[in-house]
Amino acid sequence: MNIDPNKLSKNLAKIVGKENVFIDKPTSLVYAKDVMPWDVEDYNLPYAVVRPATSQEVSQILKYANEELIPIHIHGSGTSLIGLARPKAKGIVLDTARMNEIKVFPERGYFEVGAGLHVAKARKALDAYKALLPIFPGSQLVATVGGSVAVNTSAHAVDAALGKPGDYVLGLEAVLPTGEIVQTGTESMRKPAGIELTKFLIGSEGLLCVLTSIRMRLIPLPHLENIVAFYRSTDGILERVMEMYRQRVPAPLFFEFLDEKAAKVSFKAVGLDAPDGAVALMSIHSSSKAGCSEKARDFLDFLKTGNPIEARLVKDDEEWDKIWSSRSEVGNYLYRSGSTFGSEITPRVDKLKDTYHEAKSIILNLESLKNSEFYSYGHIGAPTIHASAFFPTKDIPNETKKALVKEVREKTEELNIKYGGCGAEWGLTGQRISFIKKKYLPSYYDLLIKLKKALDPNNILNRGNLEGWM
Amino acid sequence: MKGADSAKNTLLNEIIKCRACRFCVDACATYQASEGVETMSAYGRLQSLRYLLMGTLDLDDSLVYSLYSCLQCKQCEIVCESKGQSLEICSIIQLGRSLLSQKLEKGESDAAI
Amino acid sequence: MRQSRALISEALRNLKNNIERTGDPLGLKNTYWTDWAEGLNLPKEGSTILFTSRMYQMMPYIMQTTDLISTFKPFLVMKGLKKVVRIGNRLAGEKIIRLKARGAKDIKEKGAKSLKGIVAALKASGVDPAYLYEAEPYSGVLLYDLGLDENIGSYIKKVYELLKKHGVEKVIATDPHTAYMLKVVYPEYIEGYDIEVKHYLEILSENKDSLEKACDFIPREQFVIHDSCIMTRDLGIVEQTRDVASSLGIALLEPENTKLNTVCCGGPIEYAFADLSEKISAIRIKELYGVTKNIVVNCPICLINLSKYEKQLGLRVLDMGELFFEALKNQSESIQ
């Protein structure tokens, strides 16, 4: 395909204005790069970055792309952990950042938000209405609402307590790959039953549409009480999670943990004394203050039956902020001096302990590069095991990095298959294609391809992600 | 060119610590003022500088605009530190400028360092 | 973005040439930086000196030059740009410069008032600094920021030697950029750097009581503080600003992003990227006047960048020095 960048720039400028089209190499590079640790190559670099402000502009861009058969890669925040953000075929990057308005309608019980608004900014806007944004990615400073709904990520939240962002979506404004603008869902407080298009587009990972605006329910901010618990080993925490589900103890909104090694690194990094053993952090939520206190007391009693070293409520906000940040930033404290390669394992809850130990063994016995260290931390109560390989150096060749990601991904996904899980946070395309092919059989993948072809006959949107290209 | 070489290596060794988490992007005043163009951020500037030093990018108008529009206000460093990476972003950009300013001032068209 | 390379190359060349020719970043020949001190009879020698690095005094001439460039905007093609910058330079070489740019005269007055106010406040706190008058050098901060590394080392040594020659042991900087240069950067280039450097706010906050006694008016207005980013994040001077204001009877209001989270006014890139700089300052000014219409700054660059909204939005943007000036004139009315 021979693209004349100047002609492309002129045609796109007719749609969005010339100040919103970029054909210079630095801009292409900055938008193409994602968090994957290997360098950007020429085939990742788009011919242009285009920045529409409305669904009408998106529609015209997609129509043009279909006419010229130029791939479009959708850019929200670029923070996908399975490589969805990096373009895999030269084309145009569509940046959603200018679609960032949020309108709150208290009398209607919902709000509408542009897909490109950063989650932290959306949360701040809703705070003013004492309303909850049910989206909790760790990357919220830069993650977009559109990306969060397109992947339908539970991220930090425990599904049993909150559900997924998509559960709160009443309707969408989206542009189909061939350029049609669709409005889906409802403006009522009752979501449609039956075969309704919203369900097909939520979680569609940028393959079936470009989300431009999302309508979500307004729900009140819950009361929160925070608990920290120290167990002699990670096993103690794993057992509590399994028991929690077995006994149907109401799950906390957040149930995080740091394993023995990670806890020492992260606690010291925030200026706290290194703890003995593994650490669990929980936020209990309730719509009523009294209910919250009772729930927290009950949960604390429940934790204590598991023989912790210590388990207590943390009433002081400053102390909680510190403890919480040791968990939320632990990845960075580890990344800082080396390289890590993570995984997302969500086993059947009664198999949590077995899965954890098998994951640890996989990480400690990688073939692509020897001598990895094992760290584990994350939303263990959800349950998710983010087992991570850690190498104390950044000096690893690009090809080895790719091999490591592949190996960690494939081997840990075997545990998802073995123990009945499917992940919950990062999506199912990109680096996870080989997994879903194995888990759900080839006919499932063929069905996805059929669906993709039905809506995107020219394979314009996010080409390469459904194929599983790196 | 010994000084330039060691500066180049220092820069590459420092910038590799940036893992492109993009948390600094929203904090930058130039990003807010440009309606959210990612080159106008610490992440954008560091990666542009890195790929310039690696020879992938040229010292063109876009790159000069990116590197010399940094306000040196350190707002990004506050976020980077709170997220555990603690890159000395302003010093890196300032060192990058010192490598490039000599070239620009002399009007050299060769971009390679 | 277009022609950024040509623009920056030209700016770097001009800066380097100006400094080499005259020791002044604007290349101005007349000693414009001493006008404010006429009649003050500050001692010309002393172990403790006030160091302005000409920052406040430069403001009206910068305004004059950028004003000139903006009138040529429609003609900004490659040749035109270079021509305009050369015209600006020729202007800079003239002995007498008529400040024709709108607002340039006002800025000159504000700058002079600020410096006079700072001196008055220091005196009220019991500190009597000397001032080098014509001998006062420029700190070289622009050379450093823009990475003109080849030149900055020798420049810093020259300034240091000059200060030593005048017997200077302690420097009181009147703006954060100068304080940063002399406190943090100079020691990187001078082994055994032995000059004590403080920003005037540090000294005033150490002597709050004497300052409070000397002021006998309390303004009726409320003021919102815009912290300079260098002041807070580079120098760590945060509470001193509040303390000193309270000794003037002012309880400063805080804007949305304040103290260590203050947002840049956009000033540092105004010389090259005026459009972007303006958008940055527009965002910040909105945050500020959302609190109140009276804004206080503690940096001359913030002053010039934000005060251009005074007429447009009906605001008042004052330097802390201007507040001292009024407070120590023994006025009992509010600031006119």
Chain B residues whose CB is inside 8 A of the A51 CB are: 35-37
Residue C79 has pLDDT above 50, yes or no: no
Tell me which chain C residue has its CA closest to the CA of residue B73. Answer: C229
What pLDDT was estimated at residue C180?
Answer: 96
Q: What is the rounded average pLDDT of the residues B45-50?
A: 97
Q: Residues A130, A78: one domain?
A: no
B105–C16 C-beta distance less than 8 A: yes
- Per-residue pLDDT band for C332 (boundaries 50, 70, 90) equals very low
| Size of the A and B interface in Cβ pairs below 8 Å | 102
The answer to whether the Cβ–Cβ distance between C5 and B61 falls below 8 Å is: yes
- State the pLDDT at residue C102: 63
The verdict on a CB contact (< 8 Å) between B39 and A77 is: no
Per the domain annotation, does A160 fall within a domain? Answer: yes
pLDDT in tens, A396-421: 899 999 999 999 999 999 999 999 99
Do the chains contact at C268 and B60, CB–CB below 8 Å?
no
CATH number, domain containing residue A160? 3.30.465.10
Q: Which H or E run contains A73?
A: strand A72-75
Domain boundary among A95, A117, A134: A95
What ipTM does this complex have?
Answer: 0.95
Specify the number of domains making up chain A. 4
Q: Quick one: how far is CA A249 from the chain centroid?
A: 26
Cα separation of the two ends of chain B: 9
Q: Does the pLDDT of residue C59 top 70, yes or no?
A: yes
Is A250 inside any structural domain?
Answer: yes
Nearest-CA distance A299 → chain B (Å): 30
DSSP, residue by residue, C110-143: HHHHHHHHHHHHHHHTT---EE-GGGPPP--HHH
Both A343 and A324 in a single domain?
no
3-state secondary structure of A264: helix
- Chain-chain contact of A24 with B22 (C-beta, under 8 angstroms): no
Q: Which residues of B touch C20 (CB under 8 A)?
A: none
**Number of cross-chain residue pairs from B and C with Cβ atoms under 8 Å apart:** 104
* Residues A214-233: tens digit of each pLDDT: 999 999 999 999 999 999 99
**Long-range Cβ contacts of A193-199 (<8 Å, 24+ apart):** A198/A169, A198/A171, A198/A172, A199/A166
Q: Is the pLDDT of residue B113 over 70?
A: no
- CA distances C218 to A90, A343, C200, C334, Å, are 65, 63, 21, 7
Contact assignment for B69 to C233 by CB distance below 8 Å:
no
CB of B61 within 8 Å of a chain C CB? The answer is yes
* Chain-chain contact of A26 with B62 (C-beta, under 8 angstroms): yes
My answer on whether A212 and A117 are in the same domain is yes
Which chain C residues contact residue B94 at CB under 8 A? 144-145, 147
What is the model's pLDDT at position B91? 93
Residues A139-177 as b/e (b if ≥16 CB within 10 A, e otherwise) read bbbbbbbbbbbbbbbbbbbbbbbbebbbebbbbbbbbbb
Mean pLDDT of A103-108: 98
Instruction: Give the CATH number, domain containing residue A272.
Output: 3.30.70.2190
Q: What is the pLDDT of residues A130-165, one digit of tens each?
A: 999 999 998 999 999 999 999 999 999 999 999 999
pLDDT at A458 over 60: yes
Which stretch of A108-117, A261-270, A447-456 has the lowest confidence by average pLDDT? A261-270
In a domain, A209, yes or no: yes
Of the candidates C183, C60, C122, the one whose C-alpha atom is nearest the C-alpha of residue C320 is C122
More confident: C173 or C97: C173
Domain final position from A331, A351, A378: A331
pLDDT at C73: 45
> Is A181 inside a domain boundary?
yes
CB contact (8 A) between residue C148 and residue B105:
yes
B43 in contact with chain A, both atoms CB, cutoff 8 A = yes
**DSSP state string for A407-466:** HHHHHHHHHHHHTT---SSS-SSGGGHHHHHHHHHHHHHHHHHHHHHHH-TT--BTTTTT
Chains near A with 3+ CB pairs less than 8 A apart are B
Cα–Cα distance, C50 to C120 (Å, whole number): 12
| Residue C68 binned pLDDT confidence (cut-offs 50, 70, 90) | low
- Regarding whether A250 and A207 lie in a shared domain, the answer is no
Buried b (16+ CB within 10 A) or exposed e, C130-140: bbbeeebbbbb
pLDDT tens-digit map of A367-389: 988 878 888 999 999 999 998 88
B104 → closest Cβ in C12, C145, C260? C12
Contact present, A274 and A413 (Cβ < 8 Å)? no
Assess whether A301 and A358 both reside in one domain: no
Mean residue pLDDT of chain C comes to 86
B78 touches chain C (CB under 8 A): yes
Domains and CATH numbers, chain B: 2-106 (1.10.1060.10)
Provide, rounded to the nearest whole percent, the portion of chain A with pLDDT above 90: 87
Q: Using omega within 30 degrees of 0 as the cis cutoff, is the peptide bond preceding A137 cis? A: no
Higher pLDDT, A137 or C151: A137
CATH code, A392: 3.30.70.2740
Sign of CA pseudo-dihedral A189, A192, A193, A198: negative
Residue A348 lies in a domain: yes
Residue A267 sits in the same domain as residue A304:
yes
For position A357, what pLDDT does the model report? 96
C197 pLDDT band, cuts 50/70/90, is very high
Domain that holds residue A159: 102-220
**Sequence-separated (6 or more) residues with CB below 8 Å from residue A105:** A111, A112, A218
Residues A326 and A342 both lie in one domain: no
Most confident of A97-101, A435-439, C87-91: A97-101
In the predicted model, what is the mean pLDDT of residues B8-37? 93
Q: Which of B60, B62, B74 sits opposite C229 (nearest CB)?
A: B74
Give the list of residues 6+ apart from residue A264 with CB closer than 8 angstroms, or none: A274, A275
Are A108 and A210 in the same domain? yes
Query: In chain B, helix, strand, coil percent, each to 5?
Result: 60, 0, 40
Residue C74, pLDDT > 70, answer no
Could you tell me what percent of chain C has a pLDDT over 90? 57
pLDDT band at B107 (very low <50, low <70, confident <90, very high): confident
In this prediction, residue C69 has a pLDDT band, given cuts at 50, 70 and 90, of low
Claim to verify: residue A21 and residue A130 sit in the same structural domain: no
Q: Does A65 lie in the same domain as A20?
A: yes
Question: Residue C122: is its pLDDT beyond 60?
Answer: yes
Phi, psi of B38 (to 5 degrees): -70, -20
**pLDDT value for C87:** 55
- C306 pLDDT above the threshold of 80: yes
Q: How confident is the model at residue C210 (pLDDT cuts 50, 70, 90)?
A: confident
Domain edge (last residue) among A281, A316, A331: A331
User: DSSP label at A40?
Assistant: P
Mean pLDDT calculated for residue range C287-310? 94
Domain membership flag for residue A434: no
Instruction: Assign A299 a pLDDT band (cuts: 50, 70, 90).
Output: very high
End-to-end CA distance of chain A: give it in Å, rounded.
21
In angstroms, the separation between the Cα of residue B3 and the nearest Cα of chain C is 11
Alpha-carbon span C257 to C268, nearest angstrom? 19
C147 and B101 in contact by Cβ < 8 A?
A: yes
Whether residues A130 and A193 fall in one domain: yes
A320 and A387 in a single domain? The answer is no
Q: Which of A102-106, A294-298, C10-14, C159-163 is the least confident region?
A: C10-14
Helix (H, G, I), strand (E, B) or coil at C50: strand
Measured between beta carbons, the chain C residues lying within 8 angstroms of B72 are: 145, 268
Question: What's the rounded mean pLDDT across residues C265-282?
Answer: 92
In a domain, A440, yes or no: no
State whether residue A22 is helix, strand or coil.
strand
Q: Which letter does DSSP use for residue A180 in this model?
A: -
Average pLDDT over residues A317-339: 85
Asked, for residue A67, whether it belongs to a domain, the answer is yes
Given this model, what pLDDT does residue A392 score?
A: 83
pLDDT at C335 over 80: no
CA–CA separation, B37 and C267 (whole Å): 20
Whether B48 sits inside 8 A of A335 (CB atoms) is: no
Least confident of A249-263, B66-80, C80-94, C256-270: C80-94
CATH number for the domain spanning A45: value is: 3.30.43.10
Q: How far apart are CA B30 and CA B73, in angstroms?
A: 11
Taking 90 as the threshold, does the pLDDT of residue A355 lie above it? Answer: yes
Structural domains of chain C ordered from first start: 4-203 (no CATH), 214-327 (3.40.50.1860)
pLDDT at A294 exceeding the cut of 90:
yes
